[in-house]
């Protein structure tokens, strides 16, 4: 997709949302809040992708229906928990809304998104409960029973609700579909936006977001927190939850944490639908993103830089070897693209090791079970890592990436970031703002990077920027602010 087409779609979607923002069914539609021009997100708007390409990152409607009935059979609760904090002191109660993308993360002391913040608040006499959305392939009931200790203080949302509520949700999707069809037929801008687009698919994307509101509403009513923390990336569900809380639970103070990357063309995270759709406080991972929000979203909102668990002390130590780390994002299509590049690069540069590191959202075993590539084609110097990120960083000099936030972490360790750019796509580089950086479009261009005599000096200028992006975690200002409220 061309940048001009993306900007036009973005502008049209914003107009449609602003006209229909008080309709929760419309607000819940994922595709109306275009996050950034990432190839995975653009598949719903770009007919140049064939059906097979579109299926890589999304399940078909029949699989989704089958899984829905399977979860209805396996799960019989709105959520699972042994938490008893509903009777605790209102002034000190905090609910977090976070995400479980890998069941192994439950064994960690820190939350995958909020880092050590939850533990820090507990140490400062706040009563916390972390509500997890389940994005794993395991049903929530099984996760709950296998991690009972964790759920003494926390909650996991079910993948399904009761049959009656699921039928109501299906009805809402049907109503949304009719509404979109009418908009497409009667509205000039809507007709232009929805031309050649799958209106039914757009309607269906609201399903899980509306379910989330239903589930979370019950939790808020029962636990009655003073503060609500949630992640902030520009997803439709974020504004849906914020608007619902501000209407039904106006005393709750909402804090949203921007934890990941902003790219050159990030879009919906800056969308301004009015104060009823914005958090009261935005927490940022660094000063770079804090200043971006002040400029592009709303300078009147309170912003607090609390840093990030992605922070690493800056290091300029040179690696003893010249091996390469590959870090794909948490999408199957992106993982395949990077794997194809890695096989080609490892075959071409036999004197180097290429360490392929899967994103936590990708199950390595399932990925290879569904991969058509013959394992015999994989060179011996291409290694699939099961080690820690730190270990992989220590044994490499270069890092090849596309949209991964881990590229910023790698740069802070003095690694040389190399952005893999595909022909005809819009830039999705989280390090787009840096100069003296390396871009490649094919394997042979890597040779120029490896042989660049000014490599070290070029990289040194960029390393110190990483502290602006992912700052050292510091919750002192946040605690002072909360104590005043």
Over residues 400-428, mean pLDDT: 94
Q: Which residue matches tokens 């509404």? A: 179
pLDDT at position 374 is: 64
pLDDT of residue 372: 66
pLDDT digit string, tens, across residues 65-97: 677 777 777 887 899 999 887 777 778 899 999
Average pLDDT score over residue span 400-406? 95
Nearest-CA neighbor of 106 among 155, 173, 165, 54?
155
Mean pLDDT, the chain, integer: 90
Count of positions (residues) in the chain: 485
| pTM summary value | 0.91
pLDDT value, residue 243: 98
Please tell me the distance from the alpha carbon of residue 212 to that of residue 220, in angstroms, as a whole number: 12
Q: What is the mean pLDDT of residues 439-454?
A: 92
What's the order of all strands across the beta sheet hosting 127-134?
79-81, 155-157, 127-134, 93-100, 227-231, 253-257, 281-284, 302-305
Give CA–CA dist 357/339, Å, rounded: 10
Give the pLDDT of residue 134.
96
Contacting residues for 195 by C-beta, under 8 A, at least 6 apart: none
301-314 tens-digit pLDDT: 999 999 999 998 87
Structural tokens at position 170: 């299906």
Q: With 60 as the cut, is the pLDDT of residue 268 above it?
A: yes
Domains and CATH numbers, the chain: 1-310+471-485 (3.40.50.2000), 324-469 (3.40.50.2000)
Q: Which of 183, 172, 139, 138 lies closest to 158, judged by CA?
A: 139
Asked if residue 340 has pLDDT above 70, the reply is: yes
Query: Which of 136, 144, 70, 148 is closest to 101 using CA atoms?
Result: 136
pLDDT value at position 76? 78
CB 327 within 8 A of CB 356: no
Query: For residue 72, what pLDDT is reported?
Result: 75
Q: Indicate whether 60 pLDDT > 70.
A: no
Query: What pLDDT does 184 receive?
Result: 87
d(CA 110, CA 224): 24
């Amino acid at each position: 997709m061309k940048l001009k087409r993306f900007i036009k779609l973005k502008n049209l979607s914003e107009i449609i949302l602003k006209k229909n923002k008080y309709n929760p069914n419309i607000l819940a539609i994922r595709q109306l809040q275009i996050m950034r021009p990432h190839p995975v997100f653009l598949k719903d708007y770009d007919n140049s992708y064939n059906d097979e390409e579109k299926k890589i990152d999304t399940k078909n409607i029949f699989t989704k229906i089958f899984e829905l009935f399977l979860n209805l059979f396996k799960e019989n609760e709105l959520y699972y928990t042994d938490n008893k904090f509903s009777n605790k002191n209102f002034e000190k109660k905090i609910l977090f809304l976070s995400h479980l993308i890998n069941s192994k993360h439950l064994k960690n002391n820190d939350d995958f998104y909020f880092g050590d913040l939850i533990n820090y608040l507990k140490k400062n006499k706040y009563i916390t409960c972390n509500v997890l959305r389940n994005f794993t392939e395991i049903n929530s009931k099984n996760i709950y029973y296998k991690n009972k200790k964790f759920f003494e203080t926390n909650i996991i949302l079910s993948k399904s609700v009761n049959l009656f509520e699921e039928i109501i949700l299906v009805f809402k999707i049907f109503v949304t579909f009719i509404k979109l069809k009418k908009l497409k037929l009667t509205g000039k801008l809507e007709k232009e936006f929805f031309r050649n687009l799958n209106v039914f698919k757009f309607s269906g994307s609201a399903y899980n977001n509306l379910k989330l509101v239903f589930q979370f509403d019950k939790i808020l009513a029962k636990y009655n927190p003073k503060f609500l923390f949630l992640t902030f990336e520009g997803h439709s569900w974020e504004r849906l939850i914020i608007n619902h809380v501000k209407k039904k639970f106006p005393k709750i103070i909402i804090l949203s944490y921007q934890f990941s990357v902003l790219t050159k063309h990030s879009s919906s995270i800056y969308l301004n639908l009015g104060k009823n759709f914005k958090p009261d406080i935005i927490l940022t991972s660094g000063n770079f993103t804090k200043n971006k929000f002040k400029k592009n979203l709303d300078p009147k909102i309170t912003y607090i830089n609390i840093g990030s668990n992605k922070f690493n002390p800056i290091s300029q130590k040179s690696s003893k070897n010249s091996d390469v780390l590959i870090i794909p994002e948490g999408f199957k299509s992106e993982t395949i693209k990077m794997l194809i590049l890695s096989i080609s690069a490892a075959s071409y540069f036999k004197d180097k090791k290429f360490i392929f590191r899967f994103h936590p959202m990708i199950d390595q075993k399932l990925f290879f079970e569904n991969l058509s590539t013959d394992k015999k084609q994989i060179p011996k110097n291409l290694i699939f890592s099961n080690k820690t990120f730190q270990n992989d960083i220590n044994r490499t000099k270069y890092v090849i990436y596309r949209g991964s936030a881990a590229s910023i972490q790698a740069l802070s360790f003095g690694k040389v970031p190399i952005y893999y750019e595909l022909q005809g796509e819009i830039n999705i580089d989280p390090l787009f703002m840096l100069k003296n950086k390396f871009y490649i479009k094919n394997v042979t261009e890597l040779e120029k990077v490896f042989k660049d005599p000014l490599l070290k000096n070029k990289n040194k200028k960029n390393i110190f920027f990483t502290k602006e992006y992912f700052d050292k975690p510091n919750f002192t200002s946040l605690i002072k602010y909360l104590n005043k409220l």
